[in-house]
């Protein structure tokens, strides 16, 4: 009985802090809005899109970029040795629009990850004063580029990066992605990333990174982070440590993405990144597992335990009542953040299942990277640092 009360109290405190943190995050994060237009001369902006086996997504992504209302734009799509129909799709789109340039990524160099190598190839062809790096599974609103440029110049920042709205279609996407994205949002609830007084708090979402070219070249660009699997995080760190301000924004009104379409791709994609995002520290793995369990499983499991093992007492501090309250608070928090990962409300009851899967992903990522077994992504194997094959 004492153990149940202790676990119930711990869960309530952690869930309460999580709900408070997400509430603060949602109130403080700036929201990217469509821009009215560009005042004065519009500098050339180069958009670089690395694409490896992206036949499912690439046409929608490129068409959304070509439909931007920003008046001075070039789009550079980099075919990264694709083995599907990606090259043919890009060739057809390039024939339709002269603003699209298609280049072949250079052969993968030792010590480079595939994405960094492809982006580097695209940058060599880019002519813009500003550059936007976009993943091939992204679709952006027609005013997104102009809005990013406007906010960067108005606020005097050298990098703008956006949180995207997740497109969740299959069962496993709806079950797992909200748990992972929601917990990631809670890592910087006070938005220290946007404050230069905290140089070690750096974050960027590789799905949308808008940078001033001079600043990008000052820190060494993707060549500086060539071996990083989580290159977006490292690039933002380089910016902040060089004294170059960055701005993380809510881009859900301007940017959407379908990161993964199956449990297998979710497993591979997050296993590739997770342990590296924790800087290969097992102490962080342990804390992450505890956080995932407490914020996705514990209230529901303890409610069942209280219901099975003890008679309801009608007391406000009854374990069943308190845990049901914690579960409701957790699901309310998910509802508050629904613009980032919209799902039908019936899927909220599958939240604990998403937590179990996320815990397994964290363990798998730590195991494979720490044992140097590597993780596979799009036909390439990534070890602790380098890309192979």
**pLDDT computed for residue 18 by the predictor:** 97
The token pair at 357 is 């899967």
47-86 burial: b if 16+ Cβ within 10 Å, else e? bbbbbbbbbebbbebbebbbebbbebbbbbbbbbbbeeeb
pLDDT digits (tens, 9 = 90+) for 359-374: 999 999 999 888 877 6
How far apart are the C-alpha atoms of 139 and 78, rounded to whole Å?
17
**pLDDT computed for residue 385 by the predictor:** 44
**Average pLDDT in the 11-22 region?**
97
Mode of pairing for the β-strands spanning 138-140 and 255-257: antiparallel
pLDDT digits (tens, 9 = 90+) for 313-327: 666 578 899 999 999
**Sign of the torsion formed by the C-alpha atoms of 315, 320, 324 and 326:** positive
Higher pLDDT, 229 or 340: 340
Task: Determine the angle formed by the axes of helices 351-370 and 263-277, rounding to 10 degrees.
Answer: 60
Which pairs with CB-CB distance under 8 Å and at least 24 residues apart come from 335-340? 336/22, 336/23, 336/26, 337/22, 337/26, 337/182, 337/185, 339/165, 339/250, 339/252, 340/163, 340/164, 340/165, 340/166, 340/181, 340/182, 340/185, 340/250, 340/252
How far apart are the C-alpha atoms of 30 and 32, rounded to whole Å?
7
**pLDDT computed for residue 135 by the predictor:** 96
How far apart are the C-alpha atoms of 125 and 105, rounded to whole Å?
11
Q: How many Cα atoms sit within 13 Å of 164 on the Cβ side?
A: 23
Domain annotation for the chain: domains and CATH numbers: 2-25+273-370 (no CATH), 29-170+188-259 (3.90.550.10)
**Cβ count near 4 (within 10 Å):** 16
**Average pLDDT in the 112-136 region?**
96
**Average pLDDT in the 323-335 region?**
97
Q: Residue 75 phi/psi, 5° resolution?
A: -115, 125
Rama region for 164: left / alpha / beta (φ>0; ψ in -120 to 50; rest): beta
How far apart are the C-alpha atoms of 370 and 179, rounded to whole Å?
24
Give percent of the chain above pLDDT 90: 83
Higher pLDDT, 272 or 221: 221
**pLDDT computed for residue 386 by the predictor:** 40
Q: Residue 375 phi/psi, 5° resolution?
A: -125, 150
The token pair at 334 is 């998910």
Measure CA 178 to chain center.
12
Mean pLDDT of the chain: 92
Please state, in angstroms and as integers, the Cα–Cα distance from residue 52 to each residue in 46, 83, 87, 135, 368, following that order: 20, 8, 9, 10, 23
pLDDT digits (tens, 9 = 90+) for 189-247: 999 999 999 998 999 999 999 999 999 999 999 999 999 989 999 999 999 999 999 99
Q: Is the pLDDT of residue 384 over 70?
A: no
**Alpha helices (runs of H) in the chain, residue ranges in sequence order:** 2-28, 58-66, 86-96, 114-125, 144-155, 171-185, 213-219, 221-224, 231-241, 263-277, 282-296, 298-309, 319-336, 351-370
């Amino acid at each position: 009985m004492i153990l149940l009360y202790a676990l119930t109290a711990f869960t309530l405190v952690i869930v309460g802090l999580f709900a408070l943190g997400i509430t603060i995050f949602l109130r403080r994060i700036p929201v990217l809005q469509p821009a009215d237009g560009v005042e004065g001369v519009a500098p050339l902006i180069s958009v670089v899109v690395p694409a490896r086996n992206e036949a499912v997504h690439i046409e929608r992504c490129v068409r959304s970029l070509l439909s931007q209302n920003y008046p001075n734009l070039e789009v550079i799509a980099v075919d990264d040795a694709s083995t599907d129909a990606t090259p043919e799709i890009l060739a057809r789109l390039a024939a339709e629009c002269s603003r699209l340039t298609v280049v072949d990524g250079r052969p993968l160099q030792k010590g480079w990850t595939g994405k960094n190598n492809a982006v580097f190839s695209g940058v060599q062809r880019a002519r813009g004063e500003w550059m936007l790096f976009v993943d091939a599974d992204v679709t952006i609103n027609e005013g997104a580029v102009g809005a990013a440029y406007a906010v960067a110049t108005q606020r005097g920042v050298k990098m703008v990066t956006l949180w995207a709205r997740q497109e969740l279609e299959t069962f496993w996407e709806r079950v797992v992605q909200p748990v992972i994205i929601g917990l990631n949002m809670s890592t910087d609830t006070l938005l220290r990333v946007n404050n230069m007084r905290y140089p070690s708090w750096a974050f960027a979402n590789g799905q949308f990174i808008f940078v001033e070219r001079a600043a990008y070249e000052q820190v060494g660009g993707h060549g500086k982070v060539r071996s990083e699997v989580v290159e977006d995080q490292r690039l933002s760190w380089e910016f902040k440590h060089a004294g170059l301000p960055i701005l993380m924004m809510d881009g859900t009104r301007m940017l959407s993405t379908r990161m993964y379409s199956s449990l297998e791709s979710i497993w591979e994609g997050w296993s590739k990144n997770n342990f590296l995002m924790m800087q290969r520290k097992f102490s962080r793995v342990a804390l992450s597992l505890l956080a995932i369990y407490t914020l996705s499983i514990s209230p529901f499991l303890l409610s069942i335990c209280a219901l099975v093992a003890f008679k309801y007492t009608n007391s406000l501090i009854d374990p069943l009542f308190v845990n049901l309250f914690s579960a409701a608070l957790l699901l309310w928090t998910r509802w508050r953040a629904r613009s980032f990962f919209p799902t039908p409300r019936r899927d909220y009851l599958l939240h604990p299942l998403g937590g179990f899967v996320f815990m397994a992903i964290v363990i798998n990522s730590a195991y494979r990277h720490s044992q140097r077994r590597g993780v596979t992504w799009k036909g390439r194997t990534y070890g602790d640092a380098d890309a192979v094959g």
